[in-house]
Amino acid sequence: MARGSRYQRYGGGDPLAPPVDIAEALDAIGEDVMAGYSPERALQEFLRRGGREGDGLDDLARRVAERRRELLQRHNLDGTLDEVKELLDKAVLEERKQLARDAMMDDADRAFREMRMDNLPSSPAAAVTELADYDWQSAEARAAYEEIKDLLGRELLDQRFAGMKQAMENATDEDRAAIQEMLSDLNELLEKHARGADTQQDFDDFMAKHGDFFPENPQNVEELVDALAQRAAAAQRMLNSMTPEQRQELMELSAQAFGSPALMDQLGRLDASLQGLRPGEDWSGSERFDGEEGLGLGDGTGALQDLADLDELADQLSQSYGGARLDDVDLDKLARQLGDQAAVDARRLQELEQALRRSGTLEKGFDGELRLTPKAMRQLGKALLRDVAQRMSGRQGQRDLRQAGAAGDLSGATRAWEFGDTEPWDIPRTITNAVLRTAGEAPGVSRLGAGAPRTSATGGVRLSIEDVEVQETEARTQAAVALLVDTSFSMAMDGRWVPMKRTALALHTLIGTRFRGDRLELIGFGRHAETMDIEHLTALDARWAKGTNLHHALLLANRHFRKHPTAQPVLLIVTDGEPTSHLEPDGQVYFAYPPHPLTIALAVRELDNSYRLGAQTTFFRLGDDPGLARFVDSMARRVDGKVINPEADDLGAAVVGSYLGSRGPRGAGGPSSYGDWFGGRGFWVG
């Protein structure tokens, strides 16, 4: 049997758009993680903000709220009553005109009829009821009155079956009879379903007979009940939203629908069945409409359905419930309420969330919490290192070694140059790369003639950074690096927490990718000190306990140096405060502010031990506290170290630069190296 094809409107946005780019998301998530957010919360915050390509959840939620407010402020629920009153006024006016010009009418009969017109109740519902037995003399008046009954019937049907008002316009008696038959059969089916006595065949027979009334094309009774109950509940909420006077008018008018109470009887029976089958629907809610534009019963019910959809979307976009995922967002409803672009933006966020979870950048640990994977940490570190490289670009100074440009015996292999490389260039390979790269460009000035590679005005090959290859070496100078970062409460209070973490991650990435022979120890020191892996440090929340235990941090750094006796010790200390705590002999922490002389003495003693181990020491002083400046200057002078006073944003470049410049033998650096990069803010001591 040949299989048919189904077509529908494409709703996926631009089919030629590139796949989602997780790099921007990863950078933002990493920033938030380093600021103290959990990875799960950082992911949710990025999804709320959105990226460069489209709106985030907060923007979509704001538009949903604006759409809801617009519906309530634009509309009111008087539409049907206003239409009835307008038709009634037309009927009465046309009848008066006919009575005035009918010369053959008995005067007493005319007077009686005019009296009935004059004494109609002010209530439209009561007036329509009173005129139910009136013998209209005007054909136009009779038509207007009959239109009232037709309008009421169509509006009541439109409340339960969307689009029925238009479909039943100019309906014949046969059309009305078909409606009555459908309602009767529907009620029998639902009542049978409520008893559990129905079968799929009962449903199929019903749809074969009345399927044209149900464009939703339900496949079973449950789907049929769902569609009908949602609409009926919205109709009930509309009634609940009316004033008592409006409800009373409508109930009295409903008896005149199609000129018979039979329709209301069938609809009442239908509503009772649906409420029993779907008690979980909102049958008791209400809204307050304050606008000028009147809504009929069908349109008003549609507006209440729209409001329910908007409330559901607001809940989905808030992602505030347990186990929330972006897959929960109903894209069809979002497109219906806010337009196709909103659905495209939401789909992009869904794809981004899925890509982040699938790409190996986020994983759940043993505790069930989401965390950044080592792969994500490497990606984030590379991004931070690129930022550091940009800040360092154009500054003078190279990594200091005894033999410039060579870090060991050549292995014969070459590779592309990367930031931080100190190996000598492979000149033949570099020139060849440049020639091959420019071979396809338009001919330029060349001594080789037309069609030769583009050259400079002097005839040389034009090099680009991607052309450079360096010679691999078998051995490199090894360094034991201790990065001591202040984790006291003042670092967080003064906005230095995230720059400190960015610096540590950038240095960790540089050493882990380009200087694998070096050994890095990350040491955080607040009231006490501890060694940390990079994942621990980047996820570390701000600590508000007072204390700066440089003594303990130096003890851990010296232990690291002693573990690697053949490596060049490099000591990097990032702090914004003087030492205010130290370790007692029994391992307890002593704290005092202003700093106790013993605290200072113990820190100085351990710094001297670092110096005796051959450590190249650099202090990165954050802030402009004069007391800290005097202390750091004297400490650096004592061990022939140096002091750099960078801005928070330049901290990463300062630390990486100092590492590159200090890794050689003690005293190899100088003012021409990385210490003087920051325009007078960094200076040499000793």
List the single range of 58-72, 305-319, 389-403, 642-656 with lowest mean pLDDT: 389-403
Per-residue confidence band for 409, with pLDDT thresholds at 50, 70 and 90: low
d(CA 360, CA 426): 36
Task: Name the residue type at position 78.
Answer: D
Q: In the prediction, which pLDDT does 4 show?
A: 44
Inform me whether the pLDDT recorded for 515 exceeds 70. yes
Distance (Å, whole) CA 99 – CA 565: 120
pLDDT tens-digit series, residues 572-592: 988 888 898 998 888 888 888
Please work out, in degrees rounded to the nearest 5, the angle formed at the alpha carbon of residue 338 by the alpha carbons of 335 and 341.
65
pLDDT (0 to 100) of residue 274: 94
488 and 574 Cβ atoms separated by less than 8 Å: no
Tens-digit pLDDT profile for residues 265-296? 899 999 999 999 999 999 999 999 989 899 98
Give pLDDT tens digits for 65-109. 999 999 999 999 899 999 999 999 999 999 999 999 887 888 899
The region of weakest confidence among 31-35, 108-112, 584-588, 593-597 is 31-35
Rounded Cα distance between 68 and 310, Å, is 7
Q: Among 243-247, 435-439, 586-590, 597-601, which is the least confidently predicted range? A: 435-439
Please give the radius of gyration of the chain, using alpha carbons only, rounded to the nearest integer: 41
Which contiguous run of DSSP H or E holds residue 435? helix 427-438
Helices (H), 439-543: 489-493, 497-514, 534-538
- Report the chain's mean pLDDT, rounded to a whole number: 80
DSSP-assigned beta bridge partners for residue 294: 76
> Would you tell me how many other CB atoms lie within 10 Å of the CB of residue 642?
26
Give the burial string for 551-574 (b: 16+ CB within 10 Å, else e): bbbbbbbbebbeebeebbbbbbbb
Find the length of the chain.
686
Instruction: Specify the pLDDT at position 596.
Output: 92
pLDDT at 190: 94
pLDDT band at 410 (very low <50, low <70, confident <90, very high): low
Q: What is the pLDDT of residue 381?
A: 65
Tell me the one-letter amino acid at 163: G
Whether 565 has a pLDDT exceeding 80, the answer reads yes
Give the tens place of pLDDT for each residue, 43-75: 777 878 877 777 888 899 999 999 999 999 999
Segments making up each domain of the chain, as ranges: 22-75+309-372, 78-288, 410-473, 479-684
Contacts of 578 (CB under 8 A, 6+ apart): 548, 595, 600, 627, 628, 631
Q: Cα separation of 55 and 233, whole Å?
A: 33
Q: Are the C-beta atoms of 549 and 600 separated by less than 8 Å?
A: no
CATH architecture of the region 479-684: 3-Layer(aba) Sandwich (3.40)
- Which pLDDT band, with edges at 50, 70 and 90, does 403 fall under? very low
Residue for token digits 């890095």? 520
DSSP letter for 542, please: P
How far is Cα 188 from Cα 180, in angstroms, rounded to an integer? Answer: 12
Q: Provide the residue type at 116 as one letter.
A: R
What's the DSSP call for residue 290? -
Tokens describing residue 165: 């008002």
Instruction: Determine contact, residues 35/28, Cβ cutoff 8 Å.
Output: no
pLDDT value at residue 36: 60
Q: What is the identity of the amino acid at 593?
A: Y
Identify whether the C-beta of residue 363 lies closer than 8 Å to the C-beta of residue 371. yes
The whole-number pLDDT of residue 70 equals 93
* pLDDT tens figures, 380-396: 666 666 666 666 554 43
**Residue 556 has what pLDDT?**
94
Categorize the per-residue pLDDT at 219 as very low, low, confident or very high, splitting at 50, 70 and 90.
Answer: very high
The phi, psi pair for 530, rounded to 5°, reads: -155, 145
User: Cβ distance 397 to 677 under 8 Å?
Assistant: yes
Whether residue 626 has pLDDT greater than 50: yes
Average pLDDT over residues 107-124: 90
3-state secondary structure 124-180: HHHHHHHHHHCCCCCHHHHHHHHHHHHHHHHHHHHHHCCCHHHHCCCCCHHHHHHHH
* pLDDT at res. 550: 92
301-305, 369-373, 521-525: which has the minimum mean pLDDT? Answer: 369-373
SS3 425: strand
Work out the burial of residue 120: count CB atoms within 10 Å of its CB; fewer than 13 is exposed, 13-18 middle, 19 or more buried: middle
